[in-house]
Amino acid sequence: MLGIVRQKMLGQSLLKIRPAISVLRSYSSAAKQMTVREALNSALDEEMSADPKVFLMGEEVGEYQGAYKISKGLLEKYGPERVLDTPITEAGFAGIGVGAAYYGLKPVVEFMTFNFSMQAIDHIINSAAKSNYMSAGQMSVPIVFRGPNGAAAGVGAQHSQCYASWYASCPGLKVLSPYSSEDARGLLKAAIRDPDPVVFLENELLYGESFPVSDEVLDSSFCLPIGKAKIERKGKDVTITAFSKMVGYALKAAEILEKEGIDAEVINLRSIRPLDRSTINASVRKTNRLITVEEGFPQHGVGAEICASVVEESFAYLDAPVERIAGADVPMPYAANLERMAVPQVEDIVRAAKRACYRVVPLAAAA
């Protein structure tokens, strides 16, 4: 029932929000279109078909085919022993999933929203993340915790948080956050195959977005490396890092900046932990400027870690102060106008890039 209500609320809000997240994209050798939802579904299907140890569990993943239809058709194909509907008890089924991973199975645990993962955070952090180290490498925990993360639309403060920096701060976890259909397919396959626990942060506003995919991406053997970022757009004047939905915003900002003579390089992080520091620093050493973009809170955020890495490794290459674009340092408002002000917008990225490139006249000079 909760899934039905949330889906109706989301559908009403998407009409207002979709223009902001639909941006021009260019992918080499791309021939077909695939939604992020289809990409995730196909990745799950192929990995379950290839390995009988893989199974899916969570609220409404079976009979209802997923709150966002990510698991559509899987119950019919694989049966209730491998697609398990659970009660509304995240602590319970996350713990069962970790125990199954101890036993050698490969559970994929779906949270209807990662905000609900707070009920299960003890199992994620203290059981899944630490067991390999505490057993001196004798125990592997091949489990994936996946579901929508970050702000949606009109769901209030308790359902709108970004958990990227929360989980990325914990040793023993790998944290992935896809943007495109290529990301979703390749990274989810990598997560399921990985011997370590993976937190897989999706975005519900991207589920219905279509992206071009190549024949290589559609191949069942396709898999992306964990810990490697992708340069979505090459540039020479300023580096913009982003992940998840914010990659689309960064690409849109880059298009606007191009019209004003600023050539921005956009990096899709893909992997939050491990973080591809080498790609980020190599880009900054070329452009001499850095803008980080994320939906989460600014303090102790992903952008803060990236800025620290660049200052430590590439400080001498910087020609301007680093700029961090993040969500407002407040709980998410419910009112639509305040909600928009609380999350980064394309114009925020454009303004930051102009500041970094000294294209903005200082207030004192303007006076």
Angstrom distance (rounded) from CA 82 to CA 23 = 37
CA atoms within 13 A on the CB side of 257: 33
Give which of 226, 204, 213, 181 is closest to 43, Cα–Cα.
181
Do the strands 174-176 and 198-202 form a parallel or antiparallel pair, or are they unpaired?
A: parallel
Q: Decide if 74 contacts 45 (C-beta within 8 A).
A: yes
**What span, in angstroms and rounded, lies between the C-alpha atoms of 333 and 96?**
35
* Strand 210-213, strand 323-325: pairing: unpaired
119 burial (CB, 10 Å; 0-12 / 13-18 / 19+) is middle
Please, which residues have CB within 8 angstroms of residue 355's CB and are 6 or more apart in sequence? 320, 323
Local structure of residue 288 (DSSP, 8 states): S
Candidate list 159, 255, 258, 313, residue with the active-site label: 159
Q: Is 305 a catalytic residue?
A: no
Q: How far apart are CA 235 and CA 218, in angstroms?
A: 29
Catalytic residue among 38, 47, 59, 90: 90
Closest CA to 235 of 307, 283, 179, 268: 283
Those residues whose C-beta lies under 8 Å from the C-beta of residue 366, and which sit 6 or more positions away, are: none
Q: Provide the phi-psi class of 288: left if phi over 0, else alpha when psi is between -120 and 50, else beta.
A: left
C-beta neighbour count of 344 within 10 angstroms: 23
Query: Could you count the other beta carbons within 10 Å of the beta carbon of residue 16?
Result: 12
Active site residue 339: no
Distance CA 160, CA 116 (A): 11
Residue 167 burial by Cβ neighbours in a 10 Å radius (0-12, 13-18, 19+):
buried
Cα distance between residue 336 and residue 264, in whole Å: 30
Q: What are phi and psi of 104, to 5 degrees?
A: 115, 0
Which residues have a catalytic role annotated?
90, 159
